[in-house]
Amino acid sequence: MKLLRSFLSFFLGFLLIFFAPSAMARFAVEKNSLTVTSPENIKGTHDSAIGNFGIPQYGGTMAGNVVFPKDNQKGCKEFDEFGISFKSKPGALPFIVLLDRGNCFFALKVWNAQKAGASAVLVADDIDENLITMDTPEEDGSAAKYIENITIPSALVEKSFGEKLKNAIRGGDMVNVNLDWREAVPHPDARVEYELWTNSNDECGVKCDMLMEFLKDFKGAAQILEKGGYTQFTPHYITWYCPQAFTLSKQCKSQCINHGRYCAPDPEQDFSSGYDGKDVVVENLRQLCVFKVANETKKPWVWWDYVTDFQIRCPMKEKKYNKECADAVINSLGLDLKKIERCMGDPNADSENLVLKEEQDAQIGKGSRGDVTILPTLVVNNRQYRGKLEKGAVAKAICSGFEETTEPAVCLSSDVETNECLNNNGGCWQDKAANITACKDTFRGRLCECPLLDGVQFKGDGYTTCEASGPGRCKINNGGCWHEAQNGHAFTACSDNGKVKCQCPAGFKGDGVKSCEDIDECEEKKACQCPECSCKNTWGSYNCSCSGDLLYIKDHDTCISKTASQQGKSAWAALWIIFVGLVVATGGAYLVYKYRIRSYMDSEIRAIMAQYMPLDSQEGVVNHVNEERA
């Protein structure tokens, strides 16, 4: 209990000191504009705050018919229960549903409205205040399931404006509005600058899963935009610092590097087990340095490959979230490991780390952008993006940041052609000799996946190893085993059903993978050693011949006379004699045996009878005996 209390007070201090400045600072609410086109008396343009879920139509507009349901006005229950549907007839304006704030998560209201057919949702605030951003509920597993599926945009409107809309609807007016996201992202020039505030921690539940999924999905588009010079992307990582008074505490030591200067929360929120916050800070720092080094070589997009590969190859779940695994990823991407290490510096040093210091400074909002406090956060042209972190939605937001008519073709067409496997094989496994590769070019960027070739599945991690497995594996490149052909004779060390992957065939020795050498059977006295034999080694075998008119029998490794038929006859004769002899001997033995048994039984029976027939016995027995003697 005492421990818990001291932990709590520590954490409170932690939170207060870390978050106090940002709580006082500005959190920018991203807005889209909403124009009422009818009825006449409430015509005009208003701000609305874009919800942090669903898919806002960045760069686009949506005209719709506002409805305010008679029942379930807060939208916390399914509209089905009330027999309400917002599905619009074909050709009619879509329905934009107005709901009251309160009683349940914003996201749940929007989800219920979407299920009933709404095209967008406006939530009317229930207090007079400045607009706020509707965020997703944190750490709520059940909410996460539907939040993922929210595809309609949503926005919060001020209480007074909400009342106006409701009154107009109650009065029987048809209320039409135009939602406009075109000014949500400034679009000053032909290049979009955007940043993603991210985290290497892959074990924080729903939010981490969503971020990891987004990185994988968006990689392809991000790389195309970056390579084409259309965008300048910068990754960022949030770090906190430990309050001075706590730098020597156990908690700060496990959460922070550089003597409490840079910290991350413990991934499992358990100080005593698993990975510590400082492991996360170190990996975040590595990812920053990967970006810096890649950027220096004018290939900043390699960062996307690194973070997605690291996520696949080095997950915390498999206890691979460490330097060794990270270095393997760095090497396979052809990045300069030494430079990255130099950039990272010494995490134990009692001094600032320039890279992380820069990140801390960048967290504080400037210009039109507010402080970064939500992870992940995407910032496009210095405006925080609101909405679902999803490939299509983010692409829309980025594309809306180009000055009109300067947007790249990627923004206009969904199908994009590049082959990232052509460059260094995408950092994936390959067998150059056999022209087999694990690199797959997809619309999500390149994937490293062991291939399926002629019905034979390769297995491995796709980055450093892939091996043909299962039946038929020898058909493909001899299963990676040694093979060679000489003078029309071909040998392979691969066998389909052997337990050992590669084993030199008979007549060869070696590891079976790189080499198998011919065994000189003559030299090693393995065969053909009989006095009449003359041995000649061949590749993979040997040739034995016998002197004179003898014939070599390979199975027995011996020479025999060619006039085998004569020998055969005499052998038969000998066998016959032995057989007859055996029969005679057996017969004789049987007769002797029979006789012995009989005489034994006779004497036994007589002895027994003598016991039970005592009267005339004596004599009889004696007589008998006498008779026998006679």
Ligand X SMILES: *[C@@H]1O[C@H](CO)[C@@H](O)[C@H](O)[C@H]1NC(C)=O
Q: For ligand X, what does the binding mask look like between residues 422 and 451, x meaning CB under 6 A?
A: -------------x----------------
- To ligand X, the closest distance from the beta carbon of 46 in angstroms equals 32
- C-alpha dihedral (274, 278, 280, 286), degrees to nearest 10: -140
DSSP assigned state of 347: T
405: contact with ligand X by CB under 6 A:
no
Q: For ligand X, what does the binding mask look like between residues 506 and 545, x meaning CB under 6 A?
A: --------------------------------x----x-x
Q: For ligand X, what does the binding mask look like between residues 32 and 51, x meaning CB under 6 A?
A: --------------------
- To ligand X, the closest distance from the beta carbon of 486 in angstroms equals 12
Looking at 295, 457, 469, 495, which residue binds ligand X (CB under 6 A)? 295
Beta carbon nearer to ligand X, 555 or 627: 555
Beta carbon nearer to ligand X, 459 or 489: 489
- To ligand X, the closest distance from the beta carbon of 359 in angstroms equals 10
- To ligand X, the closest distance from the beta carbon of 33 in angstroms equals 31
- To ligand X, the closest distance from the beta carbon of 538 in angstroms equals 5
Beta carbon nearer to ligand X, 78 or 341: 78
Q: List CB contacts of 258: < 8 A, sequence separation 6 or more.
A: 347, 348, 349, 350, 351, 352, 353, 356
Task: Give the Å distances, CA to CA, from 208 to 184, 255, 342, 397.
Answer: 26, 19, 29, 21
Are 493 and 482 spatial neighbours (Cβ–Cβ below 8 Å)?
A: yes
Rounded CA Rg of the chain: 44
User: Within the chain, how many helices (H) and strands (E) appear?
Assistant: 15, 28
Beta carbon nearer to ligand X, 424 or 599: 424
- To ligand X, the closest distance from the beta carbon of 112 in angstroms equals 11
Residues 228-257 that bind ligand X (CB under 6 A): 234
Beta carbon nearer to ligand X, 215 or 546: 546
Residues 540-599 that bind ligand X (CB under 6 A): 543, 545
Are 453 and 436 spatial neighbours (Cβ–Cβ below 8 Å)?
A: yes
Look at the chain and count its residues. Answer: 630
Beta carbon nearer to ligand X, 22 or 538: 538
CA distance 254 to 275: 9
Q: Dihedrals φ, ψ of 31, to 5°?
A: -120, 150
DSSP assigned state of 187: -
Residue-by-residue DSSP string for 226-272: HHTTSEEEEEEE--B---GGGTTSHHHHHHEETTTTEE---TTS-TT
Beta carbon nearer to ligand X, 234 or 331: 234
Residues 118-177 that bind ligand X (CB under 6 A): 145-146, 149
Beta carbon nearer to ligand X, 215 or 252: 215
Number of amino acids touching ligand X (CB under 6 A):
11
Task: Give the Å distances, CA to CA, from 17 to 22, 266, 308, 398.
Answer: 10, 17, 33, 35
Helix axes 206-227, 391-399, angle to 10 degrees: 40
Beta carbon nearer to ligand X, 159 or 292: 292
Which of the ranges 71-79, 292-300, 334-342, 367-375 carries the binding residues for ligand X, by CB under 6 A?
292-300
Are 527 and 542 spatial neighbours (Cβ–Cβ below 8 Å)?
A: yes
Tokens of 339: 């430079």
Contacts with ligand X, residue ranges (CB under 6 A): 145-146, 149, 234, 292, 295, 300, 435, 538, 543, 545
